[in-house]
Structure 1
Amino acid sequence: MNHLASALLKQQQIVTKLLAGIVAGLCFMPAIALADDDKAPSSGRSSGGRGCGSNTRPAANVPALILITPNGQSGKTVSPRPTFAWFVRDAAPVPLEFRLYEQDGDRFVLVQAIKDKRLRSAPGIMVLSANDGLPELTVGKRYRWQVELVCNPSRPSSNLFAEATIEVVPLQAGLKTQLARSRDHLDRAKLYAQANLWYDVLKTAFTPVRSTTRLQALRLSVLDQVALDPTERQLLKASSIHPIQR
């Protein structure tokens, strides 16, 4: 009986040591990051009012990152090469990353990620043309796009994210005819707006061209639909435009 009790005691000691080793090992394992497309809120805005390197919230709690989307909702386009734009609140430049996902069933699969040492945030509205390193999108497909402000490369959990969805739809015959009759790109933007094609209006509003009163009015109209309150509206409308050069 004493021999059996001794054997059981030794076995218990071995199990205790193994468990202690496992727990100690877990303490030194790096944190497991969530999939990139699970980090961002679906509102098209970064969470709260925190910015990179700041633990305090600025007045009015304006997000540090706002995607130029219709109040964070999904938008449509007939262009396989749309334009993407977002607002950056803070002046201090930080590395920036852009990702594009394609919907595959009930999940989104990464199509393209842009990580470039030269790609850094700038205060105001940053504009990325799909010609700059992004693949042509497919008609009938739904995509998710995401912007990340890299606050601390060694601590991903401190980075700021925002994301939105975009759907590429067929160009209807009636609209195609109307667009063909119009030579003025601002008149075409009105046709896109009537057809609820957000990203086509956005592309017209923020394509680098000579600024005119009509173009400025179009941009303000777009930003009006993005802002959630007067403070956001004021910041967005006063923003400089920064086309991304890659």
Structure 2
Amino acid sequence: MLDKILINKAFAAICLTSLLAFSWAVPQQVMASEDQPREGLPGRRIGGGTRGECFSTVGRLMALVPETNLGFTKKAYPNFLFYLPQTSAPAMVEFVLQDESRHSVYETTFTKTNSGGVINFSLPGSTSLPPLAIGKKYNWYVSMICDPENRANDIVVNGWIQRVELDSNLTKKLEQTSPFERVNLYAKAGLWHDALATLAELRTTQPNDFRLAANWTQLLKSEKLDAIAQEPFLNIKIQQSPELSIK
């Protein structure tokens, strides 16, 4: 029995030491740009203290973006991940995507339940919503709305995203690998949004996989977001609100 325990511990140690080494290098295609920021962009990854009757003191709103506030993607319609804290009552949440001129590209609202957790939201691909332009930066916001009549009490986080073009070699590798191996390729290429979303999708479909859970924690820890590593994923269908518009 002791030998079995020691073997299990050794196996766990091997798994932990063989986690993906997430290092967020800027993609080569972006490094060549004179506009590439060297010290990140202004943003707010973590929301302020909760306030208002509909909020509890459990957790804080978080945008899952790198410390630079800028994440890269190869996707025309990428995923955005954020953490919604537990609330004492259902609350409205607003997602807004803007271009560099602060023009609204996409907006939607949805209602969260009392529960807290991680949202993996995919920008919907449709004829009315153009794909993200390669090389351009977009600012995205998530707001928790306690009082729709007084938006000054919103709790808001925001980050930036930029779509980059991949070289043919990396594109071919991505097409030939499994989703788990793809996470590592995304990470090495500096594609934060794609690595995070792919790993989140794997964790949702395989919630009891130790390896995926450990890699999820390591990935978040690489950008000091591991405070919510043990939080569940919320299955909320986000649809375009009729009162908001896609431009």
Question: TM-score, normalization: structure 2?
Answer: 0.68
- Letter of the 1:189 partner, please give it: V
Q: Which among 145, 152, 159 is matched to residue 164 of structure 1?
A: 159
User: Quick check: 1:71–1:225 contact (8 Å CA) kept in 2?
Assistant: no
SS of residue paired to 1:241:
coil
Deviations 1:76-98 (A, max 9, x none): 00011211111122333211111
Deviations 1:19-61 (A, max 9, x none): xxxxxxxxxxxxxxxxxxxxxx7121213x23442899x59xx
Report 1:1-246 matches (<5 A).
42-47=43-48, 49-53=49-53, 58=57, 64-71=60-67, 73-92=69-88, 93-103=90-100, 107-116=101-110, 118=111, 122-131=115-124, 135=129, 136-182=131-177, 184-207=178-201, 208-211=204-207, 212-227=209-224, 233-234=226-227, 236-246=228-238
Q: 1:72 to 1:160 in 2, by over 3 A?
A: farther
User: Quick check: 1:96–1:120 contact (8 Å CA) kept in 2?
Assistant: no
2: CA distance between counterparts of 1:115 and 1:226?
Answer: 27
Q: 1:196 to 1:153 in 2, by over 3 A?
A: same
2: CA distance between counterparts of 1:81 and 1:215?
Answer: 24
SS of residue paired to 2:222:
helix
SS of residue paired to 1:96:
strand
In the alignment, structure 1 segments of 5+ residues that lack a partner are 1-40
1: CA distance between counterparts of 2:84 and 2:222?
Answer: 17
1: CA distance between counterparts of 2:55 and 2:229?
Answer: 26
User: Quick check: 1:146–1:163 contact (8 Å CA) kept in 2?
Assistant: yes
2: CA distance between counterparts of 1:110 and 1:185?
Answer: 32
- Letter of the 1:127 partner, please give it: N
2: CA distance between counterparts of 1:73 and 1:155?
Answer: 27
- Equivalent residues, number: 191
Shift of 1:225: 3.0
User: Quick check: 1:97–1:149 contact (8 Å CA) kept in 2?
Assistant: yes
- Aligned twin of 1:7: none
Shift of 1:170: 0.3
Identity of aligned residues (%): 23
If you compute each CA radius of gyration, which structure gives the higher value, 1 or 2? 1
User: Quick check: 2:77–2:125 contact (8 Å CA) kept in 1?
Assistant: no
Question: TM-score, normalization: structure 1?
Answer: 0.69
Structure with the bigger RCO (C-alpha within 8 Å, sep 6+) is 2
1: CA distance between counterparts of 2:214 and 2:200?
Answer: 12
| Higher-helix-fraction structure | 1
Deviations 1:153-177 (A, max 9, x none): 1111111111000000001222112
2: CA distance between counterparts of 1:121 and 1:166?
Answer: 29
- Letter of the 2:234 partner, please give it: H
In the alignment, structure 2 segments of 5+ residues that lack a partner are 1-41, 239-247
Shift of 1:145: 0.8
RMSD value over aligned CA atoms? 2.6
User: Quick check: 2:99–2:139 contact (8 Å CA) kept in 1?
Assistant: yes
- Letter of the 1:53 partner, please give it: E
